[in-house]
Structure 1
Amino acid sequence: MTSEPGLRERKKQRTHTAISEAAVELFLRHGFDQVSVAQVAEAAEVSRRTLFAYFPAKEDLVVHRFADHEAELGQVVRARPAGMAPLEALRVRYLDALARRDPITGLNDLPPIVALYRMVLETPALVARMYRFQAGAERALADALRETAAVGEFAARLAAVQIVAVHWMLMLDNARLLAAGEAADERYAGAANEAEQAFALLANGVGRLGAPGVA
């Protein structure tokens, strides 16, 4: 017999999904700034109070789609094989995500995903909310480095800021090019090459950046 808590959780998830889908559909059709929270609630057939119980801010109606990835870098570090350095685990995971066209890499040209990229990039409030998401990813990664790689607190925070910034820049570059009309398959080789350069720079540090003979 299905438990009552299980039924409640499934109902909550259906409500969450219905609100999100109604919101994104309206935002893509009319523009994020042109749609009110009241209109989203009406389209989802819920009250404003219910909507805010699931999504505390209007921006969360969009950015929550990235929320599952907020702790992902930290999880990769925690789950890495014995003997593998954290940065190498992250490099392998990112290149695999590119090959799979994971939307979090910015390299997915399915029309609904491209439309979502474009809306986020063109809406300052959503970009600002994404930076809060970035800060959460930094905290999760720093915690994983401290707890599994014997890295001191300051070094862990410093490394996490740099690693997350690289992921963010790579994603934004890919998303902007796809939003401008480039196909994911055409972009893939360049995206993979840039990722390798980025991780090499992280691995080698920036001490020789700009020195004679260094690209």
Structure 2
Amino acid sequence: MESLLKLHNIQTHIGQYHILQGIQFEAKEGEVSVLLGRNGAGKTTTLKTIMGLTPATSGSITFQNQAIENKPTYEIAKHGMGYVPEDQGIFAQLTVEENMKVAMRKETTEALERQEYVLNLFPDLKKFWKKAGGNLSGGQKQMLAMARAFVNDSKLLLIDEPSKGLAPIVVEKVMEAIMEMKKRTTIVLVEQNFFMASKIGDTFTLIDDGRTVHTGSMNQLISDDELKHKYLGIG
């Protein structure tokens, strides 16, 4: 499979702090690539750097064979990349319907079809179509954030900790939705819940102290107790 996204030796500074100190991995088309590591390892900053929110100070990022490391966020999004931040990034004062309309760049036939598809994945959003985003439950807000990112023709979705703070039954729904979305897009996922990551990930990248320390197939990580214990504190 062809690599849709490639990061090579990414260095990122935030103020005086050198946060990313050599991140590299590839996301292949049609796969779920999971970024794993302890809290503070640099996973969220990696997603923000890909999206141009915390620009890389050196290194290269290519998306669909185009260099994007120096592009503004809106241009990266227009190239076909969607982003679901850890804080979900929905509009609390707008209804579910209005949130979806704002996310949809143009109400094309294709965009409306994608909206219908994602609403079938998340029937709660249909149910609360006229409800303000701020009045949704945590799980429903996460569903709305994912639906907003998916509704455009996103070739790649970056999803940051979708299971955080959610009840197990809701985590199960989110897992199922990501596995379904994978049929139509490529996903880079940051996830602390290793059970969830191991069920839906095809490949993994372990990040420690701002550096890529290991990459491979998810099956390889599942069977490597030493690696899980050293970098994730499990197993």
TM-score class, shorter: under 0.3
**Structure holding more strand per residue:** 2
Give TM-score scaled by structure 1 length: 0.26
Q: Which has the higher contact order (CA 8 A, sep 6+)?
A: 2
Structure number with bigger Rg: 1
**Structure holding more helix per residue:** 1
